[in-house]
Structure 1
Amino acid sequence: MVQKKQNVTIKGTKEGLIFQLDDSCSYESLVDELIEKLSSKHYQQAEGPDVLVKVDTGYRYLQDHQQEELENIITNGRNLAVEHFESRVLSKEESEKLRQESQTVTLMRIIRSGQVLKVVGDVLLIGDVNPGGTLMATGNIYVLGALRGIAHAGFEGDSNAVISASVLAPSQLRIADEIMHFEKEKDHEKMMSSVFLDELQSFQIGRVQQLVQSHPELSKNEKQLLA
């Protein structure tokens, strides 16, 4: 006898319950089976705090009214509370944000004193950051020139971001929320250098070649190399 495929799978975890909803069946079939499974006395209203539920919809896109309907089915008359819906489907806005964050923006200019330049993603600056100038990126910062002002990589919280410059002589470096100040009389220019945070969130400065070992994920699009 062939076992009927389940459209709704309920799993218990330490944090609560996970409802896995099949993404290949019709929405109507999904609703019918969800109602049927939740009709069990096991899920009826009981004393005690609500049990948190994570709803995994896979590659199914739910419209707002469908998500609201499923949440009502799960919670109505039961001590269940939907914590969040989890989907592998990206909205246009999310997809565009990911595209921007994964891109490398190339600029040819000099950032002068008083100027602040912000970039979404990685930035390759062919030019200088003068004293008093600021270059910021949500990703990594690469300066093919002299970095004498302020550089802030991962300014939205990416502590894995790196800063690299042909001439490293900044007044201040920032990665995520960490800050490192420089005093000109004590710090000398460093050539072809890179900066990143180690596991203790401390700044590490060294030759740019060290990124091969510390950040191998920086290598992109190697498949495009011609043999």
Structure 2
Amino acid sequence: MESQIPEPIASLKASKWNSIAKNSVQKKNDRGDTIVIYLEGTSHERPLSDEDFIKISPFLKLAVQDVAADGAVKGRLAYLDVKAQCNACGDAGARALCNMLIELREANVAAVRAIHLWKNELGDEGACAVADLVAASAIDGAERFWVAEVHLSHNNITLAGAHALYRAASKYPRPYIGRSLAPLWLRLEYNAVDLSRLDTIMPGHCKAERRGERQGSAAAAAGL
């Protein structure tokens, strides 16, 4: 008997997208104050595409709401870590994902702490979608729930996308504990950013100290 070929993710019905979303959303620890969305490309039979991210985003929202309403998270704004690296997500998929995450924050369900979209296919429009997420999180008086980490290395982002991200982080560094300040940790190495022009748009407090010479590096911690 011939072995059956697994049904491609792109052709899955809504019920199966719902199942994948539920399996991808989990509490990080026993305290339940952090929820993780596990969408790494290595955890599926193939990397998730733009269309996949568009299809699964509404179901991810429902899954996060369900987890946040259960147990220790109930009644509190949860932290949210998004692990979507090593996929084929482009601009449209990033927009669908980030819009969904913004809706969760506006509904006081969950606030993104870290988003991992490295090794994808984001261009400047995708970077703008992430920038909108960062800006939407920066609510005065709720600094502990601002986005803390954005990982976008190994994409197709140019100087324009980097500029959008820097503008979105204009309120950083954020007050953290006592009188200390916390940055937005932003990784942009191995993109299409023109390094010779980077200093013309990067705020003076943003640039991270270089740790040795890494070809193609454009890492920055916005708010340092």
For normalisation by structure 2, the TM-score amounts to: 0.35
Bigger relative CO (Cα 8 Å, ≥ 6 apart): 2
For normalisation by structure 1, the TM-score amounts to: 0.34
